[in-house]
Amino acid sequence: MSLHADARAVLGGWAAPDPEQDELRTSYVAHLDSHEDAMWRSCVPGHLTASTAVLSFDASRVALVLHRIHRFWLQTGGHCEPEDTTLRAAALREATEETGIGGVRVLPAPVRLDRHAVPCGGGSHHLDVQFAAVAPPEAILVHDPEESADLGWFPVDTLPEPTDDSVRALVEAAVRAVAGTRGVGPDGFRDPRG
């Protein structure tokens, strides 16, 4: 299955948590249906990206990166790459690259969507598919200056400034999703879709 087909299947079957998120989901699916290159930054009208709120094992903290250009604290994430086979794999790759943590567990389904303007290709949009993940116990962040200006753990209820409402909404959704998956199944997680 191609990355495009995976994104279409994931978003086509995703149960959005509210009408606003469902409207975004529908627009993402329409964008995928209209653009063969919707997964790549070359798609100037907009392209899908994958990001992750990486929570500590006890879900009390979130790992955030300080964007080198925009100087905002954000979740891990970015553009899809040719080696990514699924949206979830893209989210995991970005989380691992940007936090330096091995063994991050990404939940099976997205927790929210966020569409925002970006300067890619002279002006475009990121159609971000946002996941929740849990770091292993005793995980240590390893900052790579090539990835971000800074990196840190922050309490989920006291995020650093500057950040934005999208990050706050993602962290809240991630905490809810992780709380709903604890202790179910042999690996401690279950598919939050049921």
Task: Give pLDDT, residue 6.
Answer: 98
| pLDDT at residue 119, as a whole number | 76
Residue 185 has pLDDT above 80, yes or no: no
Can you tell me whether residue 8 is helix, strand or coil? helix
What pLDDT score does 184 carry? 46
- Top-confidence residue, 123 or 36: 36
**Res 100 pLDDT > 50:** yes
Give tens-digit pLDDT for 131-147: 999 999 999 999 999 99
Q: Give residue 69's pLDDT.
A: 86
Q: What is the mean pLDDT of the chain?
A: 92
**Mean pLDDT, to the nearest integer, of 93-103?**
97
The widest CA-to-CA distance across the chain, in whole angstroms, is: 47
Confidence grade of residue 124 (pLDDT, cut at 50, 70, 90): confident
What was the pLDDT predicted at 182? Answer: 63
Question: Using an 8 Å Cβ cutoff, are 148 and 66 in contact?
Answer: yes
- Contacts of residue 116, defined as CB under 8 A and 6 or more positions apart, other chains included, come to 125, 126, 128, 166
The pLDDT, as a whole number, for residue 183 is: 58
Task: Write the DSSP assignment of 112-150 as a string of letters.
Answer: EEEEEEE-GGGSEEEEEEEEEEEPPTT------TTT-SE
At residue 190 the predicted structure's pLDDT band, cuts being 50, 70 and 90, is very low
> pLDDT (tens digit, 9 = 90+) per residue, 37-85?
999 999 988 999 999 999 999 999 999 999 998 899 999 999 999 999 9
Give pLDDT, residue 52.
Answer: 98
pTM: predicted TM-score of the whole model, two decimal places: 0.92
